[in-house]
C-alpha cells in the first residue's frame, strides 16, 4: 500500500507518498488546472488496476525523476520519437494519455462516455500503445471519483491535506 497525501498551497501544492517500508517521495509543483494532475493519475490507475503506471512505480520504489527517465529511455512517443515504446512503459503511457483526456473532459463540456472512449483510444494510438480495457461504466466511475475529490479540494483553504491510499 502507498499512502499519498496531497497538501494545498496558495501558489503550489505538495505531495508526500509514503511506502509500507516508511520510505517517502516528496513533490512540490505549481498549480495547473482545476484538479491535481497526480490525483487524476490516482483515480485512473486505481480504477483500471494499472499497477505498473505512475503510482505503481512510486510504490515499487521509483521517484518521479526516475519514472520520467524510464519513460524517456523506453521510447516515450513524442513528436521527435514517434515509435513503438518498450513494453515496460506501456502502462505509463496509457495512464498519461487517459489522464490528459480526463483533465480535458473535466475542464470543458464532458463528452458522452462512448465518445470519450473514442478520444482516449485515439490518444493511446498516437503514443503507439493499446487502449486499456475500459468501458463506459469505468468512465463514469472515474469522473465521479474525480468530481468528489475536486469538490472537497476546491473549497479547502491553503494548508488542507487529504489522503488517498493506493492498493494493489
Count the alpha carbons within 13 Å of 19 in the hemisphere toward its beta carbon: 14
**Rounded-to-integer distance, Cα 40 and Cα 48, Å:** 12
**Rounded-to-integer distance, Cα 52 and Cα 124, Å:** 16
User: Mind listing the pLDDT tens digit for each residue in 18-29?
Assistant: 999 999 999 998
Contact 138, 47 (CB under 8 A): yes
User: Mind listing the pLDDT tens digit for each residue in 26-80?
Assistant: 999 888 777 899 999 999 999 999 999 999 999 999 999 899 888 887 766 554 5
Global confidence as pTM:
0.93
Residue indicated by cell numbers 499519498: 4
Q: How many residues are recorded in the chain?
A: 168
Amino acid at each position: 500500500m502507498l499512502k499519498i497525501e496531497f497538501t494545498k498551497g496558495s501558489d503550489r501544492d505538495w505531495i508526500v507518498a509514503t511506502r509500507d517500508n516508511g520510505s517517502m517521495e516528496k513533490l512540490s509543483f505549481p498549480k495547473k488546472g482545476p484538479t491535481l494532475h497526480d490525483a487524476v493519475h490516482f483515480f485512473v490507475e486505481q480504477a483500471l488496476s494499472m499497477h505498473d503506471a505512475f503510482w505503481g512505480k512510486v510504490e515499487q520504489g521509483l521517484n518521479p525523476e526516475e519514472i520520467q527517465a524510464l519513460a524517456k529511455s523506453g521510447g516515450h512517443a513524442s513528436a521527435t520519437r514517434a515509435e513503438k515504446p518498450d513494453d515496460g512503459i506501456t502502462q505509463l503511457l496509457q495512464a498519461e494519455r487517459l489522464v490528459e483526456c480526463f483533465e480535458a473532459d473535466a475542464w470543458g463540456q464532458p463528452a458522452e462516455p462512448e465518445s470519450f472512449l473514442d478520444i482516449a483510444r485515439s490518444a493511446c494510438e498516437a503514443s503507439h500503445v493499446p487502449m486499456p480495457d475500459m468501458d463506459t461504466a469505468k468512465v463514469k466511475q472515474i469522473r465521479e471519483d474525480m468530481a468528489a475529490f475536486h469538490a472537497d479540494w476546491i473549497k479547502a483553504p491553503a494548508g488542507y491535506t487529504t489522503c488517498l491510499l493506493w492498493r494493489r
